[in-house]
Structure 1
Amino acid sequence: MAATSPAPTRAAAALTLAPHRRVHHVHMPSGRPCPCRTSASPRRRTPRCRAKPTVKGVVDDDEDASRESDPERKEEEEAMTATGTLPGWLRLDTVGMDILSIAAPAVLALAADPIAALVDTAFVGHIGSTELAAVGVSISIFNLVSKLFNVPLLNVTTSFVAEQQAVDDSYRGTGENEFRRFPDNKLTEERKFLPAVTTSLALASGIGLMETVALIFGSGTLMDFIGIPVDSPVRIPAEQFLTFRAYGAPPIIVALAAQGAFRGLMDTKTPLYAIGVGNLVNAILDAIFVFPLGLGVRGAALATVTSEYVIACILLWKLNSKVVIFSGKIIGGGMIRYLKSGGLLIGRTIAVLLTMTLSTSLAAREGPVPMAGHQLCLQVWLTISLLNDALALAGQALLATEYTKRNYKQARMVLYRVLQIGGVTGTALAIILFFGFGSFSSLFTDDPAVLGIAKSGVWFVAISQPINAVAFVVDGLYYGVSDFAYAAYSMFFAGAISSAFLLVAAPEFGLGGVWAGLILFMSLRAVAGLWR
Structure 2
Amino acid sequence: MTAQPLTRRSILAQAWPIMLGQTTVPLVGLVDTAVIGWTGDAAALAGVALGTAIISFIFWAFGFLRMGMTGLTAQAHGRAAREEVDGLLVRGVAAGVGIGVVLVALQIVLVPAVFALLAGGGALDAAAREFVTARFIGAPAALGFYAISGWLFGLGRTRETLALQILVNLVNGVLDIVFVWQFGMGARGVGLGTAIAEWVGLIAGIALVVRIAGLRALLAQRAGFFHGAAWKRLFAVNADIMVRTIALLALFLWLANAGARLGTVQLAANHVLMQLVSIFAFVLDGFAFTAESRVGQAVGKRARAELLRAIRLTGEFSLGFGLLATLAALLFGGALIDLLTTNVEVREAARSVLPLAALAAIVGVPAWLLDGVFIGATQGRALRNAASLATSLYIATDLLLRPFGATGLWLALLASYFFRAGLLAIHLPRLFATVAEPPARA
Pairwise TM-score range, normalised by the shorter structure:
0.7 to 0.9
Give me the TM-score of the superposition, normalised by structure 2. 0.82
Distance 1:292 1:443 in 2: 20
1:494 to 379, 387, 390: 390
Quote the offset at 1:365 in angstroms.
Answer: 3.9
Is 2:416 the counterpart of 1:526? no
Would the aligned equivalents of 1:506 and 1:514 in 2 still touch at CA under 8 Å?
A: yes
Q: For 1:247-262, what aligned pairs fall within 5 Å after superposition?
A: 247-262=137-152
Deviation at 1:205, TM superposition (A): 1.9
**How many angstroms does 1:437 deviate by?**
3.3
Q: Which residue of 1 aligns with 2:71?
A: 159
Give the Cα separation in 2 of the matches to 1:316 and 1:447. 42
Aligned-pair distance for 1:416? 0.7
Q: Is the CA contact (8 Å cut-off) linking 2:46 and 2:268 kept in structure 1?
A: no
What is the alpha-carbon distance in structure 2 between the residues aligned to residue 299 and residue 322 of structure 1? 35
Q: Spell out, residue by residue over 1:2-29, the C-alpha distance to the aligned partner (whole angstroms, 9 max, x if none).
A: xxxxxxxxxxxxxxxxxxxxxxxxxxxx
**TM-fit CA distance, 1:256:** 1.2
Distance in 2 separating the partners of 1:283 and 1:313: 18
Greater displacement, 315-324 / 132-141:
132-141
Give the 5 Å matches for 1:56-95.
95=7
Larger CA deviation: 433-442 vs 95-104 = 433-442
Question: Which residue number in structure 2 is paired with residue 307 of structure 1?
Answer: 197
Distance of 2:330 and 2:169 partners within structure 1: 32
Which stretch shows the higher mean deviation, 467-476 or 96-105?
A: 96-105
Q: Does 1:97 align with 2:9?
A: yes
- Cα distance between partner residues in 2 of 1:377 and 1:288: 25
Report the alpha carbon displacement of residue 496 of structure 1 after superposing the two structures with TM: 1.8
Question: Closer, same or farther in 2 for the Cα pair 1:505/1:104, shift >3 Å?
Answer: same
Q: Is the 8 A contact 1:278 1:307 kept in 2?
A: yes
Q: 1:397: which partner in 2?
A: 293
Match of 2:166 among 258, 276, 279: 276
| CA offsets 1:153-190 (integer angstroms, 9 cap, x no match) | 2100001011111212xxxxxxxxx565xxxxxxxxxx
In the TM superposition, 1:413-424 aligns within 5 A as 413-424=309-320
Which of these residues, 101, 105, 112, is aligned with residue 213 of structure 1?
105
Equivalent residue number for residue 96 of structure 2 = 204
C-alpha distance in structure 1 between counterparts of 2:183 and 2:338, whole Å:
35
Q: Alpha carbons of 1:335 and 1:521: their partners in 2 closer, same or farther (altered >3 Å)?
A: same
Between structure 1 and structure 2, the one with the greater Rg is: 1
Give the C-alpha shift of residue 104 in structure 1: 1.3
Partner of 1:109 in structure 2? 21
1:284 positional shift: 4.9
Change (3 A) 1:300 1:363: closer
The 1:119–1:270 alpha-carbon spacing in structure 2 relative to 1, beyond 3 Å, is: same
Provide the C-alpha distance between the structure 1 equivalents of 2:59 and 2:279, rounded to a whole number of angstroms.
19
- CA–CA distance in structure 1, aligned partners of residues 55 and 411 of structure 2: 29
Taking only the aligned residue pairs, the percentage that are identical comes to 23
| Structure 1 counterpart of 2:151, one-letter code | A
5+ residue gaps, structure 2, are 429-442
Superposition deviation, residue 452 in structure 1? 5.0
- TM-score, normalised with respect to structure 1: 0.69
Does the 8 Å CA contact 1:415/1:477 hold for their aligned counterparts? Answer: yes
**What CA deviation, in whole Å up to 9, does each residue of 1:430-488 have, x standing for no partner?**
23333443454433446666555544424423434322111100110111211111111
Identify if the C-alpha distance between structure 1 residues 298 and 359 changes in structure 2 by more than 3 Å, giving closer, same or farther: closer
Q: Which residue of 2 aligns with 1:61?
A: none
> Quick one: distance in 2 between partners of 1:117 and 1:375?
10
Q: Which amino acid aligns with 1:315?
A: G
Contact 1:204 1:250 in 2 (8 A): yes
**Alignment-derived partner of residue 266 in structure 1:** 156
Q: How does 1:290-329 map to 2 (within 5 A)?
A: 301-323=191-213, 324-326=217-219, 327-328=221-222, 329=224
The correspondence of residues 473-512 of structure 1 with structure 2, limited to 5 A, is 473-507=369-403, 509-512=404-407
The reply on whether 1:144 has 2:39 as its aligned counterpart is no
> Which ranges in structure 1 are unaligned for 5 or more consecutive residues?
1-92, 169-177, 181-191
Following superposition, the deviation at residue 353 of structure 1 comes to 2.4
Q: What amino acid sits opposite 1:161 in the alignment?
A: T
Contact 1:274 1:311 in 2 (8 A): yes
Specify whether residues 135 and 216 from structure 1 end up closer, same or farther in structure 2 by C-alpha distance, changes over 3 A only: farther
Q: How many residues align?
A: 416
The structure-2 alpha-carbon separation of the partners of 1:233 and 1:154, relative to structure 1 and needing over 3 Å to count, comes to same
Residue 229 of structure 2 corresponds to residue 333 of structure 1: yes
Q: The residue matched to 1:510 in structure 2 has which SS?
A: helix
Aligned to 1:45: none
Aligned pairs (5 A) from 1:364-513: 364-368=260-264, 370-445=266-341, 450-507=346-403, 509-513=404-408
CA distance in 2, matches of 1:458, 1:450: 12
Aligned residue for 1:482, secondary structure, equals: coil
Conserved in 1, the CA contact under 8 Å of 2:50 and 2:256?
no
Q: Name the SS of the counterpart of 2:386 in structure 1.
A: helix
Q: Secondary structure at the match of 1:499?
A: helix
